[in-house]
Structure formats: structure tokens, C-alpha cells
A and B are shown apart, each in its own frame.
Chain A
Amino acid sequence: MKTILIVEDSATTRSLIRAVIDEIGEFDTVEASSGFEALKMLPQQDYDLIITDINMPDINGLELISFVRSNPRFSHLPIVIVSTERSEEDKKRGMALGATAYVTKPFKSFELQEIIKKTIGA
């Protein structure tokens, strides 16, 4: 089963994203509550997709994307940004750094599900 790493500092949003993914019923999820935690969790197992927020304390989503892209072990990983329209400018920067897609919060379940399926297949 493919595994998705969810990086998001809001616990509620995290569990909502998880619920949306669970609804597809074909992926495992692992959650990180901050950029730091994501850095710790990345080497611990293989992931197939990263879903990340941009606006987070400690290191932000852009820094995380840049790290993932620069590291040969992870550079191939697709990354989906889930962020609010406030971060429009930051979203552009994220895409420039190599993010695969983005979803604007608040999102509809099917939007995120479509993008996940399109990115890593059902």
C-alpha cells in the first residue's frame, strides 16, 4: 500500500486530510505536526507522496520542499501543497521550487482526492 506523509501544524486540518484520504481507502497515512517532525520522519520509511502546508512554525513548507528536492533520496517524491489563498505568492514560489500540485484551503474532499489519484495513481 502506498504511504502519504501529511505535514500540517493544525491537528484538526490534519485529521480532516487523513479522513479525506481514508475515504479513497487505498493509502496509508503518516502525520507530522511541523516541518521539523517531517524532517525527522522522512528518512524513517519510504513515502509515495508528501502533502504539506506552507505556513508553519519552525521550518515552513517552502523550506521543506526545497530540502526534499535537493536530497537525492527524496527528490523524486511528488509534493502537493495544501494552503490558503492568502499564500498565493508563496504557492507560486512552492511550484517554482518543484512542488507537483497545489490545493487551496478550504478544499472539497473530491478536489484533494482527484489530485492525489492523479499524482500517485489509484
Chain B
Amino acid sequence: MKSSKKEFIAEAEELLEESQRLILEIQDSFSAGVNPDTINALFRAMHTLKGVSGLFGLQGITNLSHALETLMDDVRLGKIEVDGRVVSFLFRNVDILKDIVDKLSQTDEETDSSAFIGDIESFRESLKGGGQPEAGGHGVDESIMKVLSEYEEHRLKANVKAGKGIYLAKAVFPLETFDTSLADLTKVIKTKGELISTLPTSTDVPEGSIGFNLLFGSPASLGDVKKDLPYDVELLVAPQSEEAHPAAPPPQPAQAGAQPETHLKSTTTTVRVDIEKLDRILNSIGELSLAKEAIRRIGTEMTETHGHTSLVYDVHKITQTLERRLAELQDQVLEIRMVPIGQIFSRLAQVVRRYSREIGKQIDLVMYGEDTELDKYLAEEIIDPLMHLVRNSLDHGIEPPDVRRAKGKRESGTVVLKAYQKGNHVVIELKDDGGGIDIGKVRKKAVEKGLLRADEELTEAETIDFIFTPGFSTKDVVSEVSGRGVGMDVVKEKLAMLGGFAEIETKKDVGTTFMLTLPITLAIIKALVVRVGEERFAVPLTSMSETLIVEHSEIQTIEWKEVFYLRGEMLPMIRVNRFFALPEGESDRSFAVVVGFGERKVGLLVDELYGQQEIVIKSLSEYLKKLRGFAGAAEIGKHEVILVLDIESLIDESIIKQRGAAHV
């Protein structure tokens, strides 16, 4: 039952995300008339959620989705009309459901939802009677009426009431290809009006074929309808004359032809896979790579003992083939893990639209690079930090309309979300055209908090960096968004955990840009395996620039810091054994692994270098996560686990220590 519970959570999350997307669509279109398909889809999502949660005995989710389903049923049957209140109400309750599902996945316990049910009921009662019942007489044959569901019957009546014509198209397709042909036909019908029902039939249909009777409503006349439909079309109810003029404006005429394949196909060709399963494949690939290395070694030994015989040649050849195929396999699995960043952006867009309304600011959201791909795991992990930054921009970046007007800016603010690939990294930019961060204030606050001496010189970038300090806030940058318990320091910490970093550019009255740089994937990375005392650690190659041999006599102590002069530049040194309180090595020479960039460049002193290896980083359990200095663990070779060093936190610790020492 455990795995099916997981399946339930995955499906529930999918349904709720789909619901949010649909509510957004409803919000954007309710004043002009919502597409009934959208409302029905939202009803169906709640209906499915209720059905599935009921089967699991999850009473809270069942009751809540049932109440929302009932509300949506009234909406789709025209008993309740959609307005802004309904939209906000739906958003709020889907959020509540999301929270319950979230908690369920984390704690395996279902939150009590009974408090919300009453709200939904009384809200629904207060709205009832908004819509008008449709007229009874519709003049459609009983044989058709009896196969319509209650909802379809309602749509039929609504079309008649709106003066639309009701048509019945009959088409016959070969069994093998009917889904694509039917999808094409459906598309054409939707440009004419609303498809009410698709009824498959085998009456008067040749062997190997299938017939469909498609019932649809359209304001166009029979002649116009027939123009693009090379099928048998019958008029059941005539459209009211004033609308029967040339093909009336279809819902979305322009894109109709250009629309990508309908969703018909995707239900049968895509599979949902737990990311853990992909990790397992990657692990197997890792083990195969080790086996391949063993074969290579045997090959090399054979060359030495047997010389270049054809057998030895074959061993080398097979090693190369293995290597190439394994690399291909690995790339393919990594590719499966990739998702377009647009998925995250659209979730952020929802927050922007809803939140801007809540706080009464007008925001234009612009997005670029939605197709940029990122590992699914990273995408999920980065969404909270991004959400925090977006809210921060809305709260404190973008000025209220009157202030903007006074500054001569457009009243509505602009937030730009942009993503692009840069080498093995993805950069996500969040830019606002708000008031910018006041560097003077940040500096003053840092001095007040005792983080900085009043006479200390800092660059702009170094000063701004203080906003990432826990508990730090100025009026312009509130480190903690009210009541949400997430601070800028958490953003930075999360990024470091993911092997990324944040940069900020800001200009007073022009705006602020946050640039988050992340590795494309964490699934498999190249790492250098090193020895410190009797322990082995992995250092990710992405953060490493070179390795050196360092005689201990060459290490100098300047202002409490241990440094080494590398090509004339001072390089701070971190003794990894001291950092982790491991015994000192006996040798008077060490290897230095140079990591970090620019001013954050340091040398890590280790006892021995073992060579490069591809590793799959696994996160540490909650209990071990609190240990500083480790990014995770990785399996190397047969069931041997080593720890992966968290370079960013090592550098941070050493910088703090140095600062602290300098202040003594």
C-alpha cells in the first residue's frame, strides 16, 4: 500500500497543479465568458481527486474536494455565475488542499479539513440563483438525448438558449488511426463552436472502421459549418437568424490550425516515473563504469605481459565501446530528468498575479527562456527560494503606484523572469524595475548590528551581501517576509546546498536583479577523490580550478591566516583535517586543491589525490544535514560510501574565521 500511497500523492499533486492552472485561466477570461471546457476540466479534477482520495479513506481530502466539486458542478451547470469572488475562493481552497496533500506526503498524517467544509457550503449557498435555468424545449431527438450525460445535456440546452445552432456530424474512420483523425475533426469543430458530445457508433459502419456522431453547437449557418467539414452534417436546431451570418468568430480562430497535437496522444505515450527509479539506473551505470574500468586495467596489464596481440586489441576495443555506450546511456537518463524551466515560471506567475492583487500593486510579468532545461530535482528545490525572491520584489522592490507616478515611472511595475544556459550551469534572473536596494542603509544596518566596523571599506557587492545574513533587514530589503519565516539567508543556504550561488545587481530607483546560478544537474557529477588522514572525500570538479603540491614550509601565516603564494597571489589555505578535527598527517608536504573563484578562491590541504570519478550525490538524512561542510554522500565502488565536501560552506567558514580573527 506504501507505493500506491505515493502514487496517490503524485496524482493529487498533478490534479491540484492542473486546477491552479485552470483557475488562472478562468480568472483571465471570466469577464469575457469562460470556455465551458475549462470549467468542466476543473470540475473533473476535483471529481477525480475526490474519487481517488475516497478509495484511500482520506476523509479530509475527500470531503474538501467533494465540497469544491459540488460548487464547480453548480458552476458548470449554470447555477452559479463566475466572478472575482468565486475565483479567489477557488484559489484559496485549492491552496488548502495542496497544504493538506503536502503535509500528508511529509508526515503521513492527514490534516483535519472539517473547518473549511462549512465555509464552502455557505459560500455556495450565498451564490446560488445567480445563473438562470435554461429553457426545456430544445428539439433534439430522444435517441441522442439519452446518451448525453447530465452535463452534456446542460451544455446542449445552454447552446440552444444562446441562439446557437445544434449540429450532428457523422464521420467514419479506420480503427487503426481513428484517434488522430478524430482529433483533427474535433479541432475543426472547435473553431466553429462548442463540441458537446462525441458518440462512437458501429451502426452502418464497415468492418475495421468506427463511426462517430459529434454533437456540437455553433452560431454559424449549415452552409458555413459544412464548408470546412467534409462530412455528413445534419442540422438539428437552427441558429437564431441574427447570428447565422458568415462563420461567426470562433473561440480561438487564429491558433486553431497551428495548435500542437492535442492531448489525446500524450495519455498513451508518456509515463510517470519516480525520480528515485532514475537514480537507481544511474547507480547501476556507475557500477558498470567501475566494471569497465576493471576491464581496462586488465587490458593494460595484458599489454604489458602479452604485448600487442589481437586478443589484447579486442579487449581495448571492447573497453572503448563500453565506455561510449555507457556515456550515451548516462546522457539519456540525465535527459529524462530534465524539465523545462517554464514549469516553474508558470507556478511563479500564479503567485505574482494573485499576490499583486492582494497587495494592490499592478505588475507586468515578462518571461524569457522558458524552454531552458533543468534537472527535475533542482527545479523543485529552487522554486521556494525563487518564490521568496519574487514576493520580496513585489513587497519591497516595486513601489506603490502613487510613489512610482511621483518618480515619473509607469504605474505598473515590471518583473522579468529569465533563464538561460551557461556552460554546465543554468542562470535564472529575476529583475524588477522597483526602487532598488539602498546600499547606504544596508551599510548602516551592518554597522549597527556589529557586522562591520564603521571605518571598514567594502565594495558595493560586499555590502549588499549582508542582506543574506540571518535576521538582517532594512526598510528596503526585509530579510524575512512577514510571517512566512523564510529569510534571504535561507535562499543563499539553499543555493549553496544545490551547488549554486546568488548575485545581486541593484541601482537606486532603477531596480534590482537577482541572478541565481545553478548546475544543470546534480545527478551525476565529476569529482576528485582525496584522502585526509584515513578518510576519503569527494571534491566536485565544477568548483575546482587546479591542484598543487605544497611544502608545509612554504605556508606562511599573515594576520592569523595561513596563506600560500601562488604565482605571486595570496591564496588562503584551509587544512581539511583541522576543519573536521581529523589527525594531522605525518608528511611535511600536502596536496592543495584550489577551489572557488575570484575573491573566494582558497586552497584545501589534503594528504593524497586518488583521481577523478563520476559520482551520484545523495542527500544526507535530516539528522546529518546539520553538519557543516558536507554536500552529501556518494557511493564509490562496491558499497563504499564517501562524503562529498560542500565547498561553498568551507569557504564561508574560513572567511568568517578570518574576519573574526582580524577583528580581535
CB neighbours (8 Å) of B4 from chain A are 12, 15-16, 19
The answer, yes or no, to whether B197 is at the interface (CB within 8 Å) is yes
User: B11, B150, B200, B202: which has the most chain A beta carbons within 10 Å?
Assistant: B200
The answer, yes or no, to whether A120 is at the interface (CB within 8 Å) is no
The answer, yes or no, to whether B55 is at the interface (CB within 8 Å) is yes
Evaluate contact between B200 and A106: CB separation under 8 angstroms: no
Contact among B57, B70, B199 for A67, CB-based, below 8 A: B199
Instruction: For B152, give the chain A residue with the smallest CB separation.
Output: A60
CB neighbours (8 Å) of B272 from chain A are 11
CB neighbours (8 Å) of B158 from chain A are none
Known pairs A10-B11, A37-B267, A58-B264; A97 contacts B147 (CB<8 A): yes
Q: Spot the interface stretch: B43-51, B317-325, B418-426, B629-637.
A: B43-51
CB neighbours (8 Å) of A70 from chain B are 201-203
Evaluate contact between B149 and A90: CB separation under 8 angstroms: yes
Evaluate contact between B48 and A9: CB separation under 8 angstroms: yes
- The distance from the CB of A45 to the nearest CB of chain B, in whole angstroms, is 13
CB neighbours (8 Å) of A117 from chain B are none
Known pairs A55-B47, A89-B150, A93-B149; A16 contacts B203 (CB<8 A): no
User: B202, B264, B272: which has the most chain A beta carbons within 10 Å?
Assistant: B202
CB neighbours (8 Å) of A90 from chain B are 149-150
CB neighbours (8 Å) of B73 from chain A are 86
Instruction: For chain B, residues 113 to 156, give those with C-beta under 8 angstroms from any C-beta of chain A.
Output: 146-150, 152
**A58 CA to B265 CA, complexed, in Å:** 12
CB neighbours (8 Å) of A59 from chain B are 198-200
Instruction: For A73, give the chain B residue with the smallest CB separation.
Output: B202
**A43 CA to B208 CA, complexed, in Å:** 9
The answer, yes or no, to whether A100 is at the interface (CB within 8 Å) is no
Evaluate contact between A66 and B52: CB separation under 8 angstroms: no
Contact among A33, A55, A71 for B44, CB-based, below 8 A: A55
**A67 CA to B197 CA, complexed, in Å:** 13
Evaluate contact between B147 and A12: CB separation under 8 angstroms: no
- The distance from the CB of A116 to the nearest CB of chain B, in whole angstroms, is 16
The answer, yes or no, to whether A21 is at the interface (CB within 8 Å) is no
Evaluate contact between B149 and A40: CB separation under 8 angstroms: no
Contact with A along B168-201 (1 / 0, CB 8 A): 0000000100110010000000000000011111
Known pairs A39-B210, A84-B50; A62 contacts B149 (CB<8 A): yes
The answer, yes or no, to whether B401 is at the interface (CB within 8 Å) is no
The answer, yes or no, to whether B7 is at the interface (CB within 8 Å) is yes
The answer, yes or no, to whether B54 is at the interface (CB within 8 Å) is yes
Contact with B along A32-75 (1 / 0, CB 8 A): 01111101100100000000001101111011101100111100
Contact with B along A86-119 (1 / 0, CB 8 A): 1101100100110000000111000000000000
- The distance from the CB of A42 to the nearest CB of chain B, in whole angstroms, is 9
Instruction: For B14, give the chain A residue with the smallest CB separation.
Output: A11
Evaluate contact between B57 and A86: CB separation under 8 angstroms: no
CB neighbours (8 Å) of B11 from chain A are 10-12
Evaluate contact between B148 and A16: CB separation under 8 angstroms: no
Report the tally of A-B residue pairs with Cβ distances under 8 A.
108
The answer, yes or no, to whether B69 is at the interface (CB within 8 Å) is yes
Instruction: For A67, give the chain B residue with the smallest CB separation.
Output: B200
Evaluate contact between A71 and B54: CB separation under 8 angstroms: no
Evaluate contact between A63 and B198: CB separation under 8 angstroms: yes
Evaluate contact between B175 and A43: CB separation under 8 angstroms: yes
Known pairs A10-B11, A39-B200, A66-B147; A86 contacts B69 (CB<8 A): yes
CB neighbours (8 Å) of A72 from chain B are 202
User: B7, B50, B149, B203: which has the most chain A beta carbons within 10 Å?
Assistant: B149
The answer, yes or no, to whether B62 is at the interface (CB within 8 Å) is yes
**A37 CA to B57 CA, complexed, in Å:** 29
Contact among B55, B175, B182, B201 for A12, CB-based, below 8 A: B55
Instruction: For B44, give the chain A residue with the smallest CB separation.
Output: A55
CB neighbours (8 Å) of B52 from chain A are 10, 12-13
CB neighbours (8 Å) of A54 from chain B are 149
The answer, yes or no, to whether B268 is at the interface (CB within 8 Å) is yes
CB neighbours (8 Å) of B267 from chain A are 9, 33-34, 37
**A55 CA to B210 CA, complexed, in Å:** 22
Evaluate contact between B147 and A16: CB separation under 8 angstroms: no
**A97 CA to B54 CA, complexed, in Å:** 27
Instruction: For A88, give the chain B residue with the smallest CB separation.
Output: B150
The answer, yes or no, to whether B466 is at the interface (CB within 8 Å) is no
Instruction: For A59, give the chain B residue with the smallest CB separation.
Output: B198
Evaluate contact between A36 and B150: CB separation under 8 angstroms: no
- The distance from the CB of A64 to the nearest CB of chain B, in whole angstroms, is 7
- The distance from the CB of A57 to the nearest CB of chain B, in whole angstroms, is 7
The answer, yes or no, to whether B472 is at the interface (CB within 8 Å) is no
Contact with A along B46-75 (1 / 0, CB 8 A): 011011101101000010000001100100
Instruction: For A57, give the chain B residue with the smallest CB separation.
Output: B44
**A39 CA to B201 CA, complexed, in Å:** 10
- The distance from the CB of A10 to the nearest CB of chain B, in whole angstroms, is 5
Evaluate contact between A97 and B199: CB separation under 8 angstroms: no
The answer, yes or no, to whether B8 is at the interface (CB within 8 Å) is yes
CB neighbours (8 Å) of A11 from chain B are 7, 11, 272
CB neighbours (8 Å) of A19 from chain B are 4
Evaluate contact between A39 and B44: CB separation under 8 angstroms: no
Evaluate contact between A105 and B51: CB separation under 8 angstroms: yes
Contact among A16, A40, A87 for B179, CB-based, below 8 A: A40
Evaluate contact between A84 and B147: CB separation under 8 angstroms: no
**A59 CA to B182 CA, complexed, in Å:** 11
CB neighbours (8 Å) of A93 from chain B are 146-150
Contact with A along B4-29 (1 / 0, CB 8 A): 10011001000000000000000000
Evaluate contact between B197 and A63: CB separation under 8 angstroms: yes
Instruction: For B199, give the chain A residue with the smallest CB separation.
Output: A63
- The distance from the CB of B379 to the nearest CB of chain A, in whole angstroms, is 22
Evaluate contact between A36 and B179: CB separation under 8 angstroms: yes
**A11 CA to B11 CA, complexed, in Å:** 8
- The distance from the CB of A46 to the nearest CB of chain B, in whole angstroms, is 16
CB neighbours (8 Å) of A106 from chain B are 51, 54-55, 57, 62
CB neighbours (8 Å) of A96 from chain B are 146
- The distance from the CB of A118 to the nearest CB of chain B, in whole angstroms, is 21
- The distance from the CB of B185 to the nearest CB of chain A, in whole angstroms, is 13
- The distance from the CB of B546 to the nearest CB of chain A, in whole angstroms, is 51
Contact with A along B207-218 (1 / 0, CB 8 A): 000100000000
CB neighbours (8 Å) of B152 from chain A are 60
CB neighbours (8 Å) of B149 from chain A are 54-55, 60, 62, 87, 90, 93
CB neighbours (8 Å) of A35 from chain B are 200
Known pairs A12-B11, A106-B55; A40 contacts B198 (CB<8 A): no
- The distance from the CB of B118 to the nearest CB of chain A, in whole angstroms, is 20
**A10 CA to B147 CA, complexed, in Å:** 23
A-B contacts, 18 listed (Cβ < 8 Å): A12-B55, A19-B4, A37-B268, A40-B178, A40-B179, A55-B48, A57-B41, A57-B44, A60-B149, A63-B197, A66-B199, A72-B202, A84-B51, A86-B69, A96-B146, A97-B146, A106-B55, A106-B62
Known: A12-B11, A13-B55. 18 other contacts (CB 8 A): A10-B51, A10-B52, A11-B272, A16-B55, A34-B267, A36-B179, A37-B268, A40-B175, A59-B199, A60-B149, A62-B148, A64-B200, A70-B202, A71-B202, A84-B47, A86-B70, A93-B146, A93-B149
